[in-house]
Amino acid sequence: TQALSIHNLRKVYGGGVEALRGIDLDVQQGDFFALLGPNGAGKSTTIGIISSLVNKTSGQVSIFGKDLDTQKSEAKTFIGLVPQEFNFNQFEPVEEVLINQAGYYGIERRVARQRAERYLRELDFLDKRRQMARQLSGGQKRRLMIARALVHEPQLLILDEPTAGVDIEIRRSMWTFLREANERGTTIILTTHYLDEAESLCRNIAIIDHGQIIENTSMKRLLGKL
Ligand code: ADP
Ligand code: ADP
């Protein structure tokens, strides 16, 4: 099954910036996929479009066979997104951030609470569950974003620079968590500008530059070329 299929995707922002110049991308179910590229390449725009946060200019996108133009709400339920900015309510206890998010998906409170507990434990900060979100460290906030993205158990987890600004120890534990989530069957796409992160985690990779895919191959083959 194809988790993500993108065909000839273009984005021109209001100011005239051509952020995506006709990209094609396919990600298979179960893959751990990296979108690598320098700042301004078009990574955030791509995942913004996939997650329906940014309007595309033209092209086709489908998520597990659901077309974003005609079946947007179905397509959206497949996705858990971890954006770069911390956009949870800073004045809620950690656990409530997760339970409220589950509420948007109609998940009952009891189930939501169990999931919250499970993800907080797996991400190593269950002890912070009653703290205000704003009191968390940067690395903990980043992990809260990941837990929140998973609370409706999406098939496809998309992370935008998940370890930017996170210290090395936390970074490694996040990598372990993501590997396990992938082994349990979640398809993962992440953007990064660290090749070592892509190398350590991902099976397949696309390199994007100036709004174009300049390489799309397996991690193994790419490393063989370098
Ligand atoms: P969309 O087409 O997705 O609705 P817009 O083109 O309307 O996006 O832009 C959204 C907002 O982002 C605008 O208010 C714009 O001024 C602002 N913006 C402009 N340039 C940039 C930039 N380089 N990075 C981030 N935001 C920008
Ligand atoms: P990346 O995530 O790879 O750093 P982006 O997708 O954020 O790249 O940006 C691609 C290009 O689009 C850049 O030139 C950026 O300045 C521009 N851009 C991003 N968001 C906006 C926006 N909202 N309005 C106008 N231009 C934007």
Q: Is there an atom of ligand 1 within 6 Å of 54 CB?
A: yes
DSSP category for residue 11: E
What is the position in ligand 2's atom list of the atom closest to the CA of 42?
Answer: 6
Side by side, the strands of the sheet bearing 32-36 are: 79-82, 156-160, 187-192, 32-36, 204-209, 212-218
**SS3 label, residue 175:** helix
> Given this model, what pLDDT does residue 142 score?
93
- For 33-53, write each residue's pLDDT tens digit: 999 999 999 999 999 999 999
- For 84-122, write each residue's pLDDT tens digit: 999 999 999 999 999 999 999 999 999 999 999 999 999
Give the integer Cα–Cα distance in Å for 161 and 177: 15
Q: Is there an atom of ligand 2 within 6 Å of 55 CB?
A: no
Q: Is there an atom of ligand 1 within 6 Å of 12 CB?
A: no
Q: Which ligand gives the minimal distance to the CA of 39?
A: 2
Closest CA to 135 of 79, 75, 90, 165: 90
pTM over 0.90: no
What is the position in ligand 2's atom list of the atom closest to the CA of 193?
Answer: 3
Q: Is the pLDDT of residue 169 over 90?
A: no
Contact 115, 102 (CB under 8 A): yes
Task: Calculate how far, in angstroms, residue 14's C-alpha sits from the geometric centre of ligand 1.
Answer: 6
Closest CA to 47 of 80, 70, 21: 80
Q: Which ligand gives the minimal distance to the CA of 53?
A: 1
> Given this model, what pLDDT does residue 214 score?
97
- For 3-13, write each residue's pLDDT tens digit: 999 999 999 99
Give the integer Cα–Cα distance in Å for 93 and 217: 42
| Per-residue pLDDT band at 127 (split at 50, 70, 90) | very high
What is the position in ligand 2's atom list of the atom closest to the CA of 160?
Answer: 2
> Given this model, what pLDDT does residue 225 score?
80
Q: Is the pLDDT of residue 164 over 90?
A: no
Q: Is there an atom of ligand 1 within 6 Å of 16 CB?
A: no
What is the position in ligand 1's atom list of the atom closest to the CA of 40?
Answer: 23
